[in-house]
Amino acid sequence: MKTRSKLLGLAIIIILSMLIIGFFQVSHSGTTNKKQQRLQKTSVKNQSNALPKHTKLSDWQLLLVNKQQPRTSEISFNKVTVDDKQIDQRIARPLANFRAGAKNAGYDTTLVSAYRSIAYQAEVYNTSLKQNEANGMNKESAKKLTESVIQTPGSSEHQTGLAVDLAGNDALAKYPNLVAQMDTFASQQWLIKHASDYGFVLRYLADSKSIAQTGIDYESWHFRYVGVINAKYMVQHHLTLEAYRDELKKAAQK
Query: For binding to Zn ion (CB under 5 A), which residues are involved?
Result: 165, 222
Q: Which is nearer to Zn ion, 129 or 162 (CB)?
A: 162
Calculate ∠ Cα 201-188-175, nearest 5°.
120
CB of 143 to Zn ion, least distance (A): 21
Minimum CB distance to Zn ion smaller for 112 or for 228: 112
User: Minimum Å distance from CB 183 to Zn ion?
Assistant: 15
Q: Which is nearer to Zn ion, 133 or 165 (CB)?
A: 165
Q: Rounded to whole angstroms, what are the CA distances from 33 to 19, 20, 25, 37, 56?
A: 21, 20, 12, 6, 41
* Min CB(163)–Zn ion separation in Å: 6
Where residue 178 falls (left for φ over 0; alpha for ψ -120 to 50; beta otherwise) is left
DSSP symbols for 101-128: HHHHTT--EEEEE----HHHHHHHHHHH
CB of 221 within 8 A of CB of 167? yes
- The residue (of 62 and 166) whose beta carbon lies closer to Zn ion is 166
Distance of CA 186 to the CA centre of its chain: 17
Q: Where are the alpha helices (DSSP H) in the chain?
A: 2-47, 92-104, 118-134, 139-149, 169-174, 186-194, 208-214, 228-236, 241-253
d(CA 249, CA 67): 19
Assign 224 to helix, strand or coil: strand
| 88 SS3 class | strand
Residue nearer to Zn ion on the CB measure, 202 or 234: 202
Q: Rounded to the nearest whole angstrom, what is the least distance from the CB of residue 248 to Zn ion in the complex? A: 24
Report which residue's Cβ sits closest to Zn ion.
222
CB of 226 to Zn ion, least distance (A): 15
* Closer residue to Zn ion, CB minimum distance, 55 or 213: 213
Tell the smallest beta-carbon distance from residue 177 to Zn ion (Å): 12
The distance of closest approach from Cβ of residue 223 to Zn ion in the complex, given in angstroms and rounded to an integer, is 8
Q: Which is nearer to Zn ion, 221 or 233 (CB)?
A: 221
